[in-house]
Amino acid sequence: MIYKDVDSRRRELKFPQCISGIFANQDQFEAKDLRHYDGKWVTLTGKRFKYSELPDEDRPVLRRKVLSGSIIINYCYGSNVLLIQKMRTLPNPDRKGN
């Protein structure tokens, strides 16, 4: 694989399966204790958007993008972001009995 710069390579190595996202129904997920999902395998269902095509925030101090009325920060530095509609846990393939 060819990377455009060293930082791109480092991000890919650090976050190989990472996509930034926000929940479509923030109220539903704010009510849940998301720590329940820490360290677990999850499957996400939602809509994918190109980060570069999202509108900019109206009056930002720093340049930020908006998706579904919320600011989305692209922590994974990917070209796509996800509007999460559904999340569920999966068995962890590395551990027996999970």
- In this structure, what DSSP letter does residue 55 have? P
Ordered by start, the domain boundaries in the chain are 16-90
Confidence of residue 96 (pLDDT cuts 50, 70, 90): low
Q: Is the dihedral of CA 63, 68, 70, 72 positive or negative?
A: negative
Q: What is the mean pLDDT of residues 46-73?
A: 87
Mean pLDDT lowest among 24-28, 58-62, 94-98? 94-98
Q: Is the dihedral of CA 47, 53, 25, 31 positive or negative?
A: positive
Confidence of residue 98 (pLDDT cuts 50, 70, 90): very low
Check pLDDT > 90 for residue 24: no
Q: What is the pTM of this model?
A: 0.65
